Structure formats: C-alpha cells, structure tokens
Amino acid sequence: MEKFIRQNAEEYKKLLATYLESQDEQSLYGVELVSKRFIKYNILPEEIINLHIKALKELYPDLFVDFEHSMDFLLEAMITYGLSHQEIQNLREEQTALKSEISIAAEMQETLLRTEKPEIEGLDIGVLSVPAHQMNGDYYHFIKNNDGSLGIAMADVIGKGIPAALCMSMIKYSMDSFPEGSMSPHAILRNLNRVVERNIDSNMFITMIYAQYAPKTCKLTFSSAGHEPGFYYNASEDRFTEITAKGLVLGVSKDVDYEERELEINENDLVIFLTDGVTECRDGERFIELNEVLDVIRKYVDLPAQEMVNQVYKYFERLQDFQLRDDFSLLILRKVKKTD
C-alpha cells in the first residue's frame, strides 16, 4: 500500500502544482483519475490529506505557519473520520451478507413449508400467507388422510425471524411423521405440544388450530391451542359464528388436554381460519374492530374462495399503506355442491 501511495504522490504533486499555477481544468480531470485509483485500493481519507500536505510542503517550503497548522488540524479530523467511515463500511458489508443469508433462509423456508392446496370434491379452498418481513412466522398445512378426510392446520409463532422459521419447520415435519388418518385433532395438538415443550426455547410459544373435514358427513372436527378464533359463516342466515375450543398454546406446559368440537357445514357455508395479522390490522394508529374484518369477508362472499381471500388481503394491504405490521394468513373453506 505504501508503495502505491509513493507511486502516485509525485503525480498528485505535479497535478496540484499545475492547478495552483493556472487553475487548469485538465489538472482537475487528472486528479479525478488519481482519486479513482485511491478508491480502488481503499486509500483512507487521512492518507490522502497527508499526501496533500507533503506535496504542499515540497512545493512551498516557506508555507506560512498558520496554514500549515490548519492542515495538521484537518489531518487529525480526517483520521477520526476515516476510522468511523471504515466502521460504517464494515457494518454495511456485514448487513449485506446478513440480508443475503436471510434471503436464502426465506427461500429455504418457503420450500420446506410448501403445501399443495388439495382438490376435495364438494369443497372450495382459498388460502394465502404473506410475511410482514422476509421470514414468515405463520404457517398453514393440508394433509389428505387415507380415509378421504382433509387435515387443515394454521399456526402462528409468538416470535419472529429465523427462530420462528425454524419452529415452523419443526412443526411441519413433526406433523408429517404422524400416521395418516389415525389421529384426531386434539391428539395431534397434544403430541405437537410435547414436541414444542421439549425442543423450543421457553420464551417462544406457538398458537395453532387443527381441523379435519370429512366430505362424506360434511362435518368439521377441530381443536385449538390458544389460536385466534376462526369463524363459521351460515349462508342461509348470513351470519358469522365464532369457532373456538379450549386449549393452551403449544409449549407452555408438558401435559395439556385440548378440547375437540364438531361443526356440520351446509352448502355455501364458509369456515374461516386466520392469524392475528388479520384481526389486528391497523387503520393509521387505530386497531380495526373484528366486525370490520367480517364485513370485508361478507363483501366478497359471492366470489370463489381463492379470489375471496385475495380480495380481503388486498383490502387490508391498502388499509395499511402496503406496509404489513404482522404476518397475514387467511384460509377460507366453502362447502359447494358435489358434481354428479
């Protein structure tokens, strides 16, 4: 590095002398080229100032004292500036590397948690999950059981970022390990609770609702681990009813029993599962009321389930000026007439 500075010092001095004598624009162009070389080789500001001072002293040995002292003052200022500048550069590089790692982690999470929306006769399904940031703390999953029933899970980690993503991956693969069609919703939550309680940090918890829909009987059986209440929409009465069941969030206690409830669904009725990123949307600084969420869903109730979900999301995205404050997940099931 010292060799590089010495090699460019003489050129810099000549350009400075030419400019001080004639204020020639060509000299400014020349020093611009030198400066680009300094940037390329990461020459610090104080080194450039020191080079300038040396050049002035060689050109003007009788440089008056006050001006010389002022240049020394500038040099000290640039030393402090240079150290701070280098720290900022290092932080920027670390931040860029971290963003890259998080982006890769987000892509891996999306791959690991990917679930196909199933085709179930007599059921129209719409679902959407959008993270507020790169990593998603929400999760939904479908499981087609051997008996023809459909398992439906929706969960929310109390905690965000990469730890939340790792929690969701653990939940997903724990569920995949359960025997298909042989476990009821309350048994699934009980087993997941043991997994979470043993493996997750004590300051992280997971809320979850798990349901099974049986196409033959048109009945939905469900249990909840402290999750946001879902809703049942009775189409003939144009009325929403809260869907909830007693049960602690996953990971709080080792042995927990989860209530299991049953709901019969008629043609055109809806079942709605969501996370608190939907119910706790804000209009400015005001938290919206629950009835506002249901009114928006009712507004689009005649649309196909996926289009309904998309329109509800767009509505609340606009309401929040396209800046989600929390992960947004919404799942809607509609009972439709079976094809003959």
pLDDT of residue 161: 65
What pLDDT, on a 0 to 100 scale, did the predictor assign at position 58?
A: 83
pLDDT of 336 reads 93
Quickly list H helices, 155-229. 161-176, 185-199
Return d(Cα 25, Cα 100) in angstroms, integer. Answer: 43
SS3 content of the chain, % helix, strand, coil (to 5): 45, 20, 30
What does residue 232 show for φ and ψ, rounded to 5 degrees?
-110, 125
pLDDT at position 315, please?
93
What does the pLDDT read at residue 5? 75
Residue pLDDT, tens place only, 116-149: 899 888 999 999 999 887 777 788 999 888 888 9
pLDDT score for 108 = 67
Q: Which residues contact 244 (CB under 8 A, 6 or more apart)?
A: 224, 229, 230
Positions of the chain with pLDDT lower than 70, given as ranges: 1, 27, 64, 66, 70, 73-74, 102, 105-106, 108-109, 111-112, 159-162, 180-182, 339-340
- 307, 315 Cβ separation under 8 angstroms: no
The DSSP code sequence of 275-339 is: -HHHHT-EETTEEPPHHHHHHHHHHTTTS-HHHHHHHHHHHHHHHTTT--SS-EEEEEEEE-PPP
Predicted local confidence at residue 38, as pLDDT: 76
- Within 13 Å, how many C-alpha atoms sit on residue 137's CB side? 21
Pick the closest to residue 113 from 132, 133, 138 (CA basis). Answer: 138
Predicted local confidence at residue 160, as pLDDT = 63
CA distance 220 to 185: 10
**pLDDT for 260:** 96
From CA 3, how far away is CA 15, in angstroms rounded? Answer: 19
Q: Three-state DSSP class for 50?
A: helix
The Cα 147–Cα 316 span in angstroms is 38
| pLDDT per position as a tens digit, 286-301 | 888 889 999 999 999 9
Domains belonging to the chain, first-starting first, are 2-93 (1.10.1240.30), 116-335 (3.60.40.10)
pLDDT at 53: 82
Question: Concatenated DSSP letters for 129-157?
Answer: EE-SSSS--EEEEEEE-TTS-EEEEEEEE
Tokens 């706790």 found at: 280
